Amino acid sequence: MYLGLDLGTSEIKAVVINEEGTLLASVGEPLDVSRPHPHWVEQNPEDWWQATQRVIARLRTRLPQQWREIRAIGLSGQMHGAVLLSREGRILRPAILWNDTRSAAECTQLTQSAPELHQVAGNLAMPGFTAPKLLWVARHEPDIFEQTATVLLPKDYLRWMMSGEKVSDMSDAAGTLWLDVAKRDWSDSLLAACGLTRDHMPRLAEGSEVSATLKNDIARAWGLRDDVMIAGGGGDNAASAVGIGAVDPGDAFISLGTSGVLFAVNDRFRPNPQSAVHAFCHALPDRWHQMSVMLTAASALRWYCNLVGSNETTLLAEIAQLNPAQQRQAPLFLPYLSGERTPHNDPYATGAFHAMTHSTDRAALGYAVLEGVAFGMVDGRDVMRQAGTQLQQCSLVGGGARSDRWAQLMSDALDLPVITHSGGEAGGALGAARLGWLAAGGNFCEVCSKPPVARQFMPDAGARDMLSARLKTWRELYQQQVALRTV
C-alpha cells in the first residue's frame, strides 16, 4: 500500500491506496493560521508535525491489519512557504505562507537586482513566492536571516522530520523563484540576488523518484517497516494533477481549495510572466505546466458562511433554489480577500459586494460569491490563452468539487465541459500516494490513469450569455477599485 500526505493551509490530509489504486482510507486534521499583522499569514511548522502524528495514528486505527503493508510515502503541500532553520535544525521563526503579502516592496527589489528573473524563473516576482519573503526577513529581521542555514518548503519540513534528509522536488522548488525552471536546477544568480547560495537549499529530486527513507525511530513509532521509501512528491497543484491523471500535454483541471487554480499540462517550459501566469515544473520528469492562481476560492465561501452563521451544505441548497432572474439580479462579488495574483499581481486588491438592495438575501450573496470565484477563473483562462494554451475541458478537484451548483457555474462561465471524478476531493493527498507508488516501481500508465468520471457538466448557452454581461461589469468594478487607490 502507499501513503499520501498533503499539507494544506487549513488541514493536513492523509490517504492510503492499494496496488490497484483503490482509496482505502482518508483522514484529515485541521490547522490554524495566524495573522498577527495586516498582510501577514503564518503557521508554526511544529503544528504541522503534530497534526501529521495525529493523522498517522488515526489511519492506523482504520487499517490495523494492512498498515504494515505500506511500502512508500508521497508528500504534497502548500507551495511557496518559507521555513527557516538554523545550522542546528532549530526553527527560527513561524513559517511565512503563500498568501502572505508583506513583501511587495521586496518584489520590486528582486526584479531590479535580477534582470534575468522572468526568463529563468518564468514568473513575475510576487509576494506569495518564497524569494521575496527571504528579502523581507533580511531587511526586517537581519538577526534571523544571519542564522538561517536552510530554507525549506512546508512539505519538505515534514520530509526532514520523517527522514533527516533535506530534499525538495522540482514542482515545489519552481515556486520559490530560485529555480531555473527549464533546466530543473537551482539558479546561482537568483539565489545570489537574495543573499543565498546552494548551501541554503535542499537537494532536488523528481517527484516520482525516491528522495529518502523513513528514519528507524519514526518507522517504529508509526508501526511501519524500516525500509519505507519517501518519494520526491510535489507542490499541491502538481500532486493534484497526478491524482486525477492530468499528466499529458493538453490535460487541465480546476482546483477549488483555499486558493483557486486553473492548471494545464505542457510538454515544455512556456512562460507568460507579463500576465501573471505561472510556469512551473510538473511533479513528473520532462513535463511542465502553466497555472493561473486566485488567492481566494473555496475560502471565500467559508468566510461568507462564517459571516452569516450558516454552513456550506445549507447555503448551497439555498443557492440552488435561485431562478435565472434572481441570479441576474444578484449582487456582484470581488473575491480578493487576500489580494490577487493572476492576472492582476495586486497584493492590495480587496473583496467587495456591489449592488445590494433591501431585497438582497443570504442566498443571493452566496451566489455572488460562487460567481465571483468563477469569474476569477475566466480571467485566468483568458491570460492562459494569450500564452498559447487552449483548453478543451477541465476536471474539477478540491473541496469545491463537492458542489454540483458550482461545477455547473464553472462550466457556464468558462464555456467548457467540466467533469468531476470519484475521489476527486482527495486532491493532493491522492496524487502524493500515487507518486509514492511510482517511486516504489509502479507502472506509469497504471498509476497515473484518470479516475472514473462522476459527473459531466456542459455549458448552458442561456446562462453563458447572462454571465458574459455580468462579467463585463465585474471587471469594471476592479478597475474602479484600482482608480480609487490612485486618487
Integer Cα distance of 243 and 432 in angstroms: 7
Q: What pLDDT does 427 receive?
A: 76
Q: What pLDDT does 345 receive?
A: 86
Q: Which residues are known binding-site members?
A: 79-80
Output the pTM of the full model. Answer: 0.86
Q: What pLDDT does 153 receive?
A: 98
Q: Which residues are known binding-site members for substrate?
A: 79-80
pLDDT tens, 104-151?
999 999 999 999 999 999 898 999 999 999 999 999 999 999 999 999
Integer Cα distance of 470 and 330 in angstroms: 10
Tell me which of 28-42, 164-178, 266-280 is least confident: 266-280
Q: How confident is the model at residue 59 (pLDDT cuts 50, 70, 90)?
A: very high
pLDDT tens, 284-310?
999 999 999 999 999 999 999 999 999
Integer Cα distance of 326 and 338 in angstroms: 28
Q: What pLDDT does 88 receive?
A: 97
For residue 400, pLDDT over 90 is answered with: no
Tell me which of 84-88, 264-268, 370-374 is least confident: 264-268
Which is it for strands 167-169 and 203-205: parallel, antiparallel or unpaired? Answer: parallel
Q: What pLDDT does 424 receive?
A: 62
| Domains of the chain with CATH codes | 2-237 (3.30.420.40)
pLDDT tens, 194-217?
999 999 999 999 999 999 999 999
Which is it for strands 252-256 and 179-180: parallel, antiparallel or unpaired? Answer: unpaired
- List of residues 6+ apart from 132 with CB closer than 8 A: 103, 104, 106, 107, 109, 110, 125, 126, 177
Residues tagged active-site:
236
pLDDT tens, 222-281?
999 989 999 999 999 999 999 989 999 889 999 888 889 999 998 888 877 777 788 999
